[in-house]
Chain A
Amino acid sequence: MRPSGLTAVCILGIILASLGAIGWCLGGAGLAMQASGVNQMNLTPPPGGGGPEVEEIQRRQEEMLKDLQVVQDKYMIVNVALWVWQLVTVTLLFIGCIAGLKMAPSSVKWLKYAMFNGIAFELGRLGPQIMMQRETFAVMQKMMSDFGDAGPLRLPR
């Protein structure tokens, strides 16, 4: 009978690897959109123009998007490297956990690779992730303070 600890490690690992695989696909789509310059936010004006206040909001949103694009471009290489590394991590975790559930003789070796690679990956991506979030947040905060400085904006009904 398979050791219960090994079963727990493998089942949690497969869940984590599945979530990682979904994240990897979404991350790939995001990177592809970023590389092709497609805006993820829809800034089409409302029907009928919307007046000067709506134009002002749009102008600020476009400015914010440009600033966000600068932040994303700055971290593009790091993000691509992390995206590739994530694929390695997810693959190793799948191989190790499936081998572990089958109790294959090589399962311990693959699980060791998966766990130590996973630790390195999580620690490695924590720094860039926090820095990128801080910079993204600073851009959004700047836009919000610009709105505050300009006084309340009334949207047309």
Chain B
Amino acid sequence: MMQMIGSFAIVIAVAKALLILVYYFWGAWYVTRRDLPARLAEARGEEGFDGSSDAGPIDEWTDEDK
């Protein structure tokens, strides 16, 4: 009986560690994806740009602005 309880405690500890490791490996895979920085930049751009820039469209810039 004690043997079973001891083995069970070790199995639980290993299972918990494995579950956490699954998260870390998935997270590591996700954050090393090549497209993530671009997607983040795109998301920031979409949220940050409201079209009210003082500079105006680039084709209206003078040579001095450029």
Contact = CB atoms under 8 A, between A and B. Distances in A.
A106 to B, nearest CB: 11
Contacts of B13: 129-130, 133
A111 B31 contact: yes
Nearest to A119: B24
B26 to A, nearest CB: 8
A111 B30 CA distance: 10
Interface residues of A, number: 32
B17 A108 contact: no
A5 interface: yes
A54 interface: no
B20 A108 contact: no
The binding surface of chain A is classed by DSSP as helix
B55 interface: no
A9 B13 CA distance: 23
A130 B16 CA distance: 12
Interface string B31-44: 11000110111011
A114 to B, nearest CB: 8
Given A3-B40, A6-B40, A137-B6, A126 B27 contact: no
A130 B15 CA distance: 12
Contacts of A115: 24-25, 27-28, 31
Contact of B28 (A6, A112, A130): A112
A9 B21 contact: no
19 contacts: A1-B46, A3-B39, A3-B40, A12-B27, A16-B20, A103-B40, A103-B43, A103-B44, A108-B31, A118-B27, A119-B21, A119-B28, A125-B17, A126-B17, A129-B17, A130-B10, A130-B14, A133-B10, A137-B6
